[in-house]
Amino acid sequence: MKEWFKYGIGYVNIDDDFIYISNSGNWGDCQRLKEKSKATNRANTGRQMFILSFLIIVGLGTLSVWLYNMYEDSNLFFIVAPGPVLIYFLFKYMRREIGSAFKIPRAKIKSIKMEEDLITFYFINGDNKEISHSINEIPENGKEIISSLLDTNPSWNL
């Protein structure tokens, strides 16, 4: 069994052994993921901070040039005027890179809670601690996939 669906800032891939939370949805990338632990949290946080810092620097740079050109009566204003649109599209493009990337062994799942637009996984992480991870903006096919997963594993129903 191999299933996948997009969610708000990434992908969920499911096979017989693991549930993968990833940025790309690529099965090859998923195979290389590690279980969620302190190490994967550090790696995810570092990547997220780098991307957010990049977007903030681009935004501040665009704003600075925009304001400078506005007050200096320069013709460059029309060159940097599309800056906010550029930042928006950069954010939309890089949004998936902000999400977490790890795998959850199906044997370590304690329960799965489905709400309207939110799915929360309760599981034992790589550090042997019970934790949860929520994903949002779930499409209909994602809800169907998780529902069928819950039907085949009734003990996961919360």
What confidence tens digit (pLDDT) does each residue in 97-123 have?
A: 667 789 999 999 999 999 988 999 999
What pLDDT, in 10s, does the model give residues 23-32? 888 999 889 9
pTM to 2 decimal places: 0.72
The owner of tokens 């996948």 is 4
Q: What angle do CA 78, 84, 89 make, to 5 degrees?
A: 120
Give alpha helix (H) positions in the chain.
Answer: 27-31, 38-71, 77-80, 83-94, 140-152
| Average pLDDT taken over every residue of the chain | 83
Q: For residue 19, which of 80, 79, 101 has the smallest C-alpha distance?
A: 101
DSSP codes, 71-98: HTT-TTHHHHTTHHHHHHHHHHHHGGGG
